[in-house]
Amino acid sequence: MSTSTDIFKLFKEEKIKVTSTKKIFYNCYPYKASYRLRGSRYISVSEDFDKVVVSLYRYLKSYEREKYNNDILDKLRHFHSLYHSDLRYRFRSEGSSISIFALDVDHLQTLVFDLLKDYKSSIDLISIVDDKDYNDIMSGKEIMSKDTGFKYKVTLRNGWLGNNTVISSLASYLTALKESGDIRITKNLLYRLQKSNKYVQSGYFYVNDLRLIDMIHLIGPTLVRSVTEIKVNQ
């Protein structure tokens, strides 16, 4: 079985753009390959590729259709086939590109050098979790290069609450914790909470004592999206 270090070196040798990441995707995928792919958002329309082409052409203007020559459609057909047949991967279309997520490094290697070997020149970026960080990241920890002095990162949920009293109470509570030195939070986040009207914009702060989060749950049960343990890499 290959390691992340092995595959990283291999991508470098192949002159494929690759970077190390300290996060996982969709809470379980440590590897991502991003490809340039016109019409990528249509591959999920149907398992029948002819229906995909019909949907694509219905959207395109006449002069745009001319750009979709046989090579581009064959490429789209190849990714479409993989999307509907291989359950080892997860896909996400983003404009004129597609990201493919893998659970282990061998699946990533198979994807790039076997299943999509003819499209290496279309790769935008490969993202890989380092071997040294793998166990910590997969267990839910966040890797940081600098010590904040706090053990946990608390992320607030983004969304409409419909109750500005809840947001006002949250802002007052976090302000008091900041003044007492119990949390680390930016002035910008506090300002946005203080000025918000029934809508919470996602943000985060740092804390050592998880018991302080219990009060936030009482203020609003859905306010906290996640609590992540921090590990500092010196």
Last residue of a domain, one of 138, 156, 183: 138
Residue 136: what pLDDT? 83
Shared domain check, 158 and 118: no
Which pLDDT score, from 0 to 100, does residue 128 have? 94
Q: How many domains does the chain have?
A: 2
**Predicted model pTM:** 0.75
What pLDDT is stored for residue 81 in this prediction?
Answer: 95
pLDDT in tens, 123-163: 999 999 988 888 888 888 888 888 889 999 999 988 887 67
- Which of 111, 138, 165 corresponds to the end of one domain? 138
pLDDT for the residue numbered 55:
83
Do 111 and 202 reside in the same domain of the chain?
no
Domain hosting 131: range is 4-138
Distance of CA 167 to the CA centre of its chain: 27
pLDDT of residue 234: 62
Distance between CA 37 and CA 40 in Å, rounded?
Answer: 6
Do both 67 and 119 map to the same domain? Answer: yes
Q: What are phi and psi of 187, to 5 degrees?
A: -65, -35
pLDDT of res. 183: 96
* Ranges of the chain whose pLDDT falls below 70: 1, 60-67, 162, 197, 234
Neighbours of 66 (CB within 10 A): 9
Crossing angle, helix 187-195 and helix 164-180, to 10 degrees? Answer: 150
